Structure 1
């Protein structure tokens, strides 16, 4: 039951809210560490190609489905084809899983922001500080609660008074912070005890220049899966979020123009985030520091801030404030999707469903927090790595479910109802869809094949062939 009049006021509100969903922890936390792990420039090249092709196709599909059906993801696919109603329930699983851990990561960011706000942050520099914090039984839960409460409040306020209003404030501030810190990072230099000098521009070269040395088919598929899972996470596609946001878009809004702006906004922020983090980490910690993985911003960056001297604390406060903004906008979009879907499913008011989803998010987030202490375990993943509770949820949602959902969606749109079903919606207001040919070819022939390959890689079946 969608509330009457629940919609964005116009194109700008929609673009900023959708960009707010897309621009989040995925861009500023996930993108840089994956880029560093997968060879810098090579990962960046693969990612940019995927955004211009797969990202454009999947984003267009989700938003157009939402606006044309005027339904959230739970009912939209059944509206297109009755037999495909199950696909709506599959998409519902993704934000359900993501919400279990997103507020936990948000709590980590709040913790670090508070540390630098209250002190010089030297306590955060020790290698064991982050591990000690996340493995404690109380502190992570307290900071998670702060982040979750703020998220729930914005969603409770609704589309116009909550999501759109706060996106218009947060997104411009986020961009200014990213650009400012990124430019500052490129001016940095550091000399080791042995006389070795590293500069921000050298780090930028590592970030931008692809290195194909020793590249194998299996390694390329691993990079491709990382880049595609990042695309899913970053653009919020194949998880019902953009379908739900699309259902709020008024008919007079030019979809193609808005989609291009969202795509450019999201990719630009991811690119700047990589330029912000990777050169700075390289300057003070070398290539070894870039290999920190998911803990890159929580372990490596505090060392960078300390090495900056007095200005480091100010940069740290600005950085974690920026991270908080980004995490909040994405968490709001995930919770909004769950609330909107459950309002339809259970025929309850927004207030009632915010309370129910809030309780669900709280209980599951507490379990994720405990996954680093009393519920700790190591689970083997198909890619050969081991994971604990948060990583398992992330792997199932981003590397397993999203390629599978994209595969099924491409079959539905490309072969069951036909690409014209989408392109006609994009052209509704007489807008020229310049990439219509690319869209039709990709959704029918390229997306299904690549998604099938990625699904096989994520499940481990590809190891039989490569």
Structure 2
């Protein structure tokens, strides 16, 4: 059920909303960590190549499908080819899984932001603080509820008055905060007890210098999978979000230009996020501080802020405010996709579906919170990692479903519908699609092969080969 007048007011509103979805928590903590883990500049190089090729193809495909069909992901594939409607259902699963834990992470960020607002934050830098918080019974649920309520309020207000208006206000502030903190990180210095000095510029060199040592075919595939999974999460492709946002784009908007702007926004912010975090962690904690996932943001960085002295608290407040903005814009896009799909599925108005999705999000997020205490377990995943409930949801959505959906989408567009269907939509208003040749080649011959390989890597199949 499409609301009357449910659309972005123009190109700027769409680009900022889409960029807001793309620029999320994954850009801020996951991208810097992966750079440090996967050879610094080597990961940057691989990621940039993927953005200019796979990212461009997948982003263009999703947005064009949305605008051409004027339907959300659940119905768009059925409109393309009725026999492929199952792909819409698979796509619907991704935001449904992500929504279970995104507001939980948003709650963690809210907790730390308020901690630095009301105190000097020394407790946050203490060993065991983060673990004590997430394993407690009530506190994580309370902060998750605050974050989820704010997300639901934005989505409840609709596309133009809610998502677009919110993005126009938040995104410029988010970019400015990231830029200021990134520049500040480069000015930092620290002297160890042995007299050795580490500087922010040395941290920047560690960040951007490629490390080819120990590179094997299997290792390169692992880096490729890390970069591609980051691309999926970062650009919000293969999860129905960009199809949903594309359905709100007016016909007169230049899709080619808008796609390029989203790519620039996302890649620029991801790079700045690395420049913001890695030099600071390197200066005060060395390479040992480059822990993965939540540990980087909620354990390593509070120690960095504590080591900064009187500057630590204001920088921490600015950082977690920025993190809150990034998490909120992404969580809004995930919830909006679920609400829009449910409106199509049940033919109910936005307000009712927003309430239903909000209840689903609340119940599942509580279960994720309990996954760190009452429902705690450890499970070995096919990609070799060990995780609990949140990690399982993240693995299924990002490492398993997204490559699989991209594989099927590339087959549908490249070989069943034909790439000219997408090219024609991009050139609807007479605009020249400069990368049309690259698009046709990639969607037919390259994307299916690489997505199949990545899917096999994510399932652990390649361990039997290499």
TM class by shorter-chain length? over 0.9
1:213 aligns with 2:213: yes
Q: Aligned residues, how many?
A: 466
Q: What secondary structure, in the 3-state scheme, does the structure 1 residue paired with 2:190 have? A: strand
Q: What secondary structure, in the 3-state scheme, does the structure 2 residue paired with 1:190 have? A: strand
How far did 1:294 drift? 3.5
Q: Which residue of 2 aligns with 1:152?
A: 152
Q: Is the 8 A contact 1:62 1:237 kept in 2?
A: yes
**Residues 142-291 of structure 1: pairs in structure 2 closer than 5 A:** 142-291=142-291
Q: Which residue of 2 aligns with 1:383?
A: 383
Q: Which residue of 2 aligns with 1:43?
A: 43
How far did 1:37 drift? 2.1
Q: Which residue of 1 aligns with 2:124?
A: 124
Per-residue deviation, residues 114-154 of structure 1 (Å, max 9, x unmatched): 00000000000112111111111110000000000000000
Q: Is the 8 A contact 1:34 1:293 kept in 2?
A: no
Q: Which residue of 1 aligns with 2:396?
A: 396
**Residues 433-448 of structure 1: pairs in structure 2 closer than 5 A:** 433-448=433-448
Q: Which residue of 2 aligns with 1:456?
A: 456
Q: What secondary structure, in the 3-state scheme, does the structure 1 residue paired with 2:348 have? A: coil
Q: Is the 8 A contact 1:292 1:300 kept in 2?
A: no
Q: TM-score, normalised by structure 2?
A: 0.99
Q: Is the 8 A contact 2:26 2:234 kept in 1?
A: yes
Q: Is the 8 A contact 1:37 1:293 kept in 2?
A: no
Q: Is the 8 A contact 1:47 1:231 kept in 2?
A: yes
State the alpha-carbon separation in 2 of the partners of residues 294 and 31 from structure 1. 12
Q: TM-score, normalised by structure 1?
A: 0.99
Q: Which residue of 1 aligns with 2:62?
A: 62
- Residue 415 to residue 49, structure 1, CA distance change in 2 (3 Å): same
Which runs of 5 or more structure 1 residues have no equivalent in the other structure?
none
Per-residue deviation, residues 388-432 of structure 1 (Å, max 9, x unmatched): 000110010000000000000000000001110000000011111
Per-residue deviation, residues 328-383 of structure 1 (Å, max 9, x unmatched): 00000000000000011111110100110000000000000000001000000112
Q: Which residue of 2 aligns with 1:27?
A: 27
Q: Is the 8 A contact 2:11 2:253 kept in 1?
A: yes
State the alpha-carbon separation in 1 of the partners of residues 357 and 257 from structure 2. 33
- Residue 151 to residue 293, structure 1, CA distance change in 2 (3 Å): closer
State the alpha-carbon separation in 2 of the partners of residues 156 and 412 from structure 1. 34
Which runs of 5 or more structure 2 residues have no equivalent in the other structure?
none
State the alpha-carbon separation in 1 of the partners of residues 383 and 347 from structure 2. 41
How far did 1:31 drift? 1.2
Q: Which residue of 1 aligns with 2:331?
A: 331
Q: Is the 8 A contact 1:410 1:447 kept in 2?
A: yes
Q: Which residue of 2 aligns with 1:355?
A: 355
State the alpha-carbon separation in 1 of the partners of residues 230 and 205 from structure 2. 22
State the alpha-carbon separation in 2 of the partners of residues 93 and 208 from structure 1. 36
Q: Is the 8 A contact 1:181 1:276 kept in 2?
A: yes
Q: Is the 8 A contact 2:41 2:210 kept in 1?
A: yes
Q: What secondary structure, in the 3-state scheme, does the structure 1 residue paired with 2:21 have? A: helix
Per-residue deviation, residues 22-72 of structure 1 (Å, max 9, x unmatched): 111111122112222222222111111111110000000000000000000
Q: Which residue of 1 aligns with 2:97?
A: 97
Q: Is the 8 A contact 1:13 1:168 kept in 2?
A: yes
How far did 1:219 drift? 1.2
Per-residue deviation, residues 200-223 of structure 1 (Å, max 9, x unmatched): 001101111110001111111111
Q: Which residue of 1 aligns with 2:364?
A: 364
